[in-house]
């Protein structure tokens, strides 16, 4: 039997012919194969050291850091936060930082506060930059880039580096082995930062341990702003650092916008994002800025996580419901809704002033038919709407729905009671999202995030306070629908 040995040193000190001396003929071929395999492995390990500063994507596109990414990469702070809008390249920057540490042979972790989001966001970006020729083992799975995770997993590399990859069930599950680096992607999805605080406790070994978080801003009060920007570090921590002689930055923050990354984006995607977001949401979602949203909003907990392209029309679900608020001089508002398992998706809207009820019903049915055609759904009737729910006083509009072969129901509910029902649909106490709104619903989103408010100075402190009767068309429509179709308990 041929024992194993460290060929990486032997290949530079002992000629192969010398190693083969004295071996039997039948052993020689086997030993030669061992030497060739170990030589190939050594060449692979050496290739890490000879690579360019950055890693290349699987489609051959090189990583060229833009201004915001460059500052983030250059930082020597122990903890770094990259605030980035959608399409800003923040996830790519986080992946590059991880790969730099992996190339050094250092163990680390890639964590997302939500495993489902890890599968949808973090992993698809990470795997596109991974040098798969250096991956030697990934748990019990084959090392293939098209593999989709179903649970936490570990990636092993040929230089000894290990990457632990996971989403968190709860903050305590962020505990793990001692590591040299940590990438916490979509950090603002962590409601209070507890997952981050638990995870960074393991970043303690090897040269210059560092942890970094990448995320979209979530307002002045979010933990990411408090920690990375305001440096809200407890006094005893600051004192301990001073006693340890630490003079460097502990927390540093950087910003990246969609405009910084425009050369790397599809032009139509860039244009669609500009068309989707306005006002403060544009500053936050595209510019990557930390903004303070309007005080006194009725639905202050409705946020960017409720706005997603995932709320698109689904031909498999097919059944469509409409929430409506009547009007003439003020616009008549229709919201188009599908329910998928536990989620409620608002996939489109219609706001029309000075239209006759029958005209609006016809436009609503045409909109549904167009969505079905685009989704490849050819089943008749294309314009079918399951039910329309709205203002109980809108008798003429309800009659128009029925004349259009749509079941119509009026929902009698108090404003305050209905608002409380709607608030319960945004997310659960565990952070699970119930209500999702497609970005194309710009008018509805604007009302929910900027327009629909309590009287100045009230801010809903009185539980019986009535909102201002303005910018409430979509919110009222959804309130009627939720009271009849989604009330719990």
Tell me the CATH number at 458: 3.30.420.280
Q: How many angstroms separate the CA atoms of 66 and 87, rounded? A: 13
76, 44: one domain: no
- Does residue 99 have a pLDDT over 70? yes
155, 194: one domain: yes
- Of 78-82, 177-181, 432-436, the poorest mean pLDDT is in 432-436
Q: How many angstroms separate the CA atoms of 439 and 216, rounded? A: 16
Q: Which has more pLDDT, 331 or 324?
A: 324
246, 313: one domain: no
The tally of domains found in the chain comes to 3
384, 259: one domain: no
Given 263, 288, 314, the domain boundary residue is 263
Q: How many angstroms separate the CA atoms of 48 and 103, rounded? A: 6
82, 169: one domain: yes
345, 440: one domain: yes
- Residue pLDDT, tens place only, 364-392: 999 999 999 999 999 999 999 999 999 99
34, 92: one domain: no
Contact by Cβ (8 Å): 264, 432: no
Among 351, 307, 311, 360, smallest CA distance to 330 is for 351
User: Residue 130 domain-assigned?
Assistant: yes
User: Residue 296 domain-assigned?
Assistant: no
- Does residue 181 have a pLDDT over 60? yes
In this prediction the pTM is: 0.58
137, 24: one domain: no
322, 434: one domain: yes
> 73-78 — which CB contacts under 8 Å span 24+ positions?
73/97, 75/249, 75/252, 75/254, 76/208, 76/248, 76/249, 77/210, 77/248, 77/249, 77/250, 77/251, 77/252, 78/209, 78/210, 78/211, 78/248, 78/249, 78/250, 78/251
252, 387: one domain: no
Can you give the pLDDT at residue 11? Answer: 35
- Kindly give the residue spans of alpha helices, DSSP state H, lying in 144-208: 194-199
User: Residue 282 domain-assigned?
Assistant: no
Please give the structure tokens belonging to residue 157. 């590399």
- Residue pLDDT, tens place only, 388-442: 999 999 999 999 999 999 999 999 888 999 998 998 888 765 567 789 999 899 8
Which 3 state secondary structure label does DSSP give 214?
Answer: strand
462, 346: one domain: yes
Range of the domain at 119: 67-263
CATH number of the domain enclosing 84: 3.40.50.300
């Amino acid at each position: 039997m041929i024992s194993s040995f460290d060929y990486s040193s032997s290949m530079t000190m002992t000629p192969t012919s010398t190693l083969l001396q004295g071996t039997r003929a039948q052993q020689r071929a086997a030993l030669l194969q061992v030497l060739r395999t170990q030589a190939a492995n050594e060449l692979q390990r050496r290739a890490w050291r000879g690579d360019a500063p950055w890693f290349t994507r699987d489609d051959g596109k090189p990583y060229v850091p833009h201004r915001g990414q460059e500052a983030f990469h250059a930082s020597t702070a122990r903890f770094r936060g990259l605030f980035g809008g959608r399409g800003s390249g923040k996830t790519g920057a986080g992946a590059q930082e991880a790969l730099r540490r992996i190339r050094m042979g250092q163990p680390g972790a890639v964590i997302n506060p939500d495993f489902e989001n890890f599968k949808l966001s973090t992993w698809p970006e990470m795997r596109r930059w991974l040098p798969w020729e250096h991956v030697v083992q990934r748990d019990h799975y084959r090392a293939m880039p098209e593999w989709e995770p179903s649970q936490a997993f570990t990636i092993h590399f040929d230089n000894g580096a290990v990457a632990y990859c996971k989403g968190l069930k709860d903050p305590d599950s962020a505990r793990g082995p001692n590591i040299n680096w940590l990438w916490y992607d979509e950090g603002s999805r962590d409601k209070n930062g507890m997952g981050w605080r638990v995870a960074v406790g393991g970043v303690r070994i090897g040269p210059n341990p560092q942890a970094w978080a990448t995320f979209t801003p979530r307002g002045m009060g979010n933990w990411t702003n408090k920690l990375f920007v305001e440096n809200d570090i407890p006094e005893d921590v600051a004192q301990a650092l001073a006693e340890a002689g630490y003079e460097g930055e502990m927390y540093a923050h950087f910003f990246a916008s969609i405009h910084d990354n425009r050369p790397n984006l599809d032009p139509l995607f860039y244009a669609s994002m500009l068309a989707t977001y306005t006002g403060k949401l544009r500053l936050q979602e595209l510019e990557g800025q930390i903004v303070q949203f309007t005080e006194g909003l009725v639905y202050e907990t409705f946020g960017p996580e409720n706005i997603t392209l995932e709320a698109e029309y689904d031909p498999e679900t097919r059944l469509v419901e409409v929430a409506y608020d009547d009007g003439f001089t003020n616009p008549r508002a229709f919201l188009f809704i599908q329910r998928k398992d536990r989620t409620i998706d608002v996939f489109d809207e219609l706001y029309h002033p000075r239209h006759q009820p029958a005209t609006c019903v016809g436009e609503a049915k045409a909109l549904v038919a167009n969505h079905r055609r685009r989704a490849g759904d050819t089943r008749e009737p294309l314009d079918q709407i399951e039910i329309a729910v709205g203002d109980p006083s809108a008798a003429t509009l309800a009659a128009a729905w029925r004349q259009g072969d749509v079941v119509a129901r009026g929902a009698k509910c108090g404003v305050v009671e209905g608002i409380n029902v709607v608030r319960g649909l945004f997310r659960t106490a565990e952070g699970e999202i119930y209500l999702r709104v497609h970005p194309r619903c710009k008018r509805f989103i604007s009302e929910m995030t900027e327009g629909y408010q309590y009287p100045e100075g009230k801010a809903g402190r009185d539980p019986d306070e009535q909102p201002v009767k303005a910018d409430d068309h979509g919110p009222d429509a959804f309130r009627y629908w939720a009271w009849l179709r989604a009330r719990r308990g």
